[in-house]
Amino acid sequence: MLSETSSSFWTTLPGLITAVALLLTAITGFYVAVILPDNNNGNVTPTMTPTPPTPVPTDTTPDPTSPPPATPTPIPAERLWGPTEFVTAGTLAGGEQLLYGVPRGGDGVYLHEGAQQWIKVGGPGKMFALDNVGNLYGLSPDGGGVFRYTGTPMAPWTQVGGPAATIYAGGSALFATNPQSGDIYRYDGKLSPWERVGNPGRFAVDGNGRLFGVSPDGSSIRAYDAGSKTWQVIADQRIAGPIGELYAGGSSLYATMGSDADVYRDTGNPNAWIKIGEHGKMFAVDDSGALYRLSFDGSVIELYSAGTWTKVGEGAEKIFAGGSGRLFATQQGSGDLVEY
C-alpha cells in the first residue's frame, strides 16, 4: 500500500518527466518516449511527447530572371610605356610637367614627351633624383660620381660630385651619402666642395629641400636646420616602437613605425605624430604631400586624404608619385607603366 507521501510523489512525477521530455525534444529534435507509472493501479502507460513541425525546404535555385552579379569596374589608367624599372616626376613653377623613366633592363634614362613618346637623354645609372626646380641628377653605375643633366639629350652630363652611395633631391637641394662612412653631404648648386651635414642614417628630402634622417638603430627621427646647421629630434621610438622608413613630399613627412610598420604622419610638433594607416608593400608621396599606399599583394593602390584611404588604382608591382597629384604604377605581370 502506498503512503500519502508516496501517493503525492507519484502524482507529481509524471508532470516532471513530461517536462524533461519536452525539453530534450526541443534540444535534440528527436522524438522522446516516456514511460509513466499509472497512479491508479500501478501499471505503466507509454506517453509520447508532441511531434516537432517538419521544416519547410528552402528553394536555393537561382532565379533565371535575376540579373547577374555586378562586375567591378576597372579603374581607368593610361598606358605610357612598356616594362619600367623606375620613374621620377615633378611639376615646375610655371606648370610644366616633367617625367623621367628607366626601362626594365636599365639601358639609360628617358624623358617623357607626351602620349607614349620617350626620348633617351642619358646612359645607365645606379639611381636618379629630380629636384623641385627641374634638375635631374644621376649616380654613375659604379657609384663613382654624381652628375647633372644639362637639358640636351645624350650630351655629356655635368659632374657635380665624386663617389656616393645614394643621392636625394628636393626643393633646390641635393644630398649624397659617402660610400665609406655613410655620412651625408649637401651640395649647394655650385661647382664647389660638398658640405658634410650629418652622420649615417636613412634619409628623405621634402619639396622645400628640408632633410630628415632616421638614426641607424631606428630610435629617432631628426630634422636638419640648414640655417643653424643643427639637427632637432622630432620623433623617437616611444611613439610606437622602432622607426623604419621615411617618405617626404611637398611639406609633408611620413614614417613607418613599430613591429607592424604602420604608417604615421608628422603634425609639425615633436613627438606629435598620428597613426593614419597600416603597413603596405610600398608608399609614395607626390609634390603636394599626398600619400599613396600599395597593398602587400599589389591588388590595391590607395590615397590618404582627410583621414580616409580611398582606392585609386589596382594590380601594381610598384608605385611612384610626383608632380601635382600624379600617380604612376608598373602593372603586375607585364611591368608596363601606367598613370592613374
How many CA atoms within 13 Å lie on the side-chain side of 290? Answer: 21
Boundaries of every domain in the chain: 4-48
Contact predicate 83/336, CB 8 Å: yes
Contact predicate 113/98, CB 8 Å: no
Enter the pTM of the model.
0.78
Looking at residue 323, its pLDDT comes to: 93
| Burial classification of residue 239, based on how many CB atoms lie within 10 Å of its CB (0-12 exposed, 13-18 middle, 19 or more buried) | middle
Partnered with residue 308 across adjacent β-strands are 305
- In 3-state terms the chain splits into helix, strand, coil percentages (rounded to 5) of 5, 45, 45
CA proximity to 214, closest of 236, 238, 230, 185: 236
CA angle 150, 151, 156 (to 5 degrees): 45
Cα(125)–Cα(101) distance, rounded to whole angstroms? 11
Q: What is the DSSP letter of 123?
A: -
Contact predicate 10/18, CB 8 Å: no
Looking at residue 15, its pLDDT comes to: 52
Looking at residue 68, its pLDDT comes to: 58
Q: Edge-to-edge strand order for the sheet containing 282-285?
A: 282-285, 291-294, 300-305, 308-314
Q: What is the pLDDT along the chain (340 residues), one digit of tens a residue?
A: 334 444 444 344 445 444 444 444 444 444 444 434 444 444 434 444 445 555 444 444 545 555 555 566 778 999 999 999 999 999 998 899 999 999 999 999 999 999 999 999 999 999 999 999 999 999 999 999 999 999 999 999 999 999 999 999 999 999 999 999 999 999 977 656 899 999 999 999 999 999 999 999 999 999 999 999 999 999 999 999 999 999 999 999 999 999 999 999 999 999 999 999 999 999 999 999 999 999 999 999 999 998 999 999 999 999 999 998 999 999 999 999 999 9
Q: What is the DSSP letter of 133?
A: T
Cα(327)–Cα(290) distance, rounded to whole angstroms? 10
C-alpha cell at 251: 611639406
The string of pLDDT tens digits covering residues 215-250 is 999 999 999 999 999 999 999 999 999 999 999 999
CA angle 330, 97, 191 (to 5 degrees): 100
Q: What is the CB neighbour count within 10 angstroms for residue 334?
A: 14
Q: 274-307 burial by CB neighbour count: b if 16+ within 10 A, else e?
A: eebbebbebbbbbbbbbbbbbbeebebbbbbeee
| Burial classification of residue 187, based on how many CB atoms lie within 10 Å of its CB (0-12 exposed, 13-18 middle, 19 or more buried) | buried
Q: What is the CB neighbour count within 10 angstroms for residue 242?
A: 16
Helix (H) or strand (E) holding 169, with range, is: strand 167-170
Q: Give the 3-state secondary structure of residue 241.
A: coil
Cα(118)–Cα(152) distance, rounded to whole angstroms? 14
Rg (CA), the chain: 35
Contact predicate 264/221, CB 8 Å: no
How many CA atoms within 13 Å lie on the side-chain side of 110? Answer: 21
Looking at residue 286, its pLDDT comes to: 97
C-alpha cell at 111: 624623358
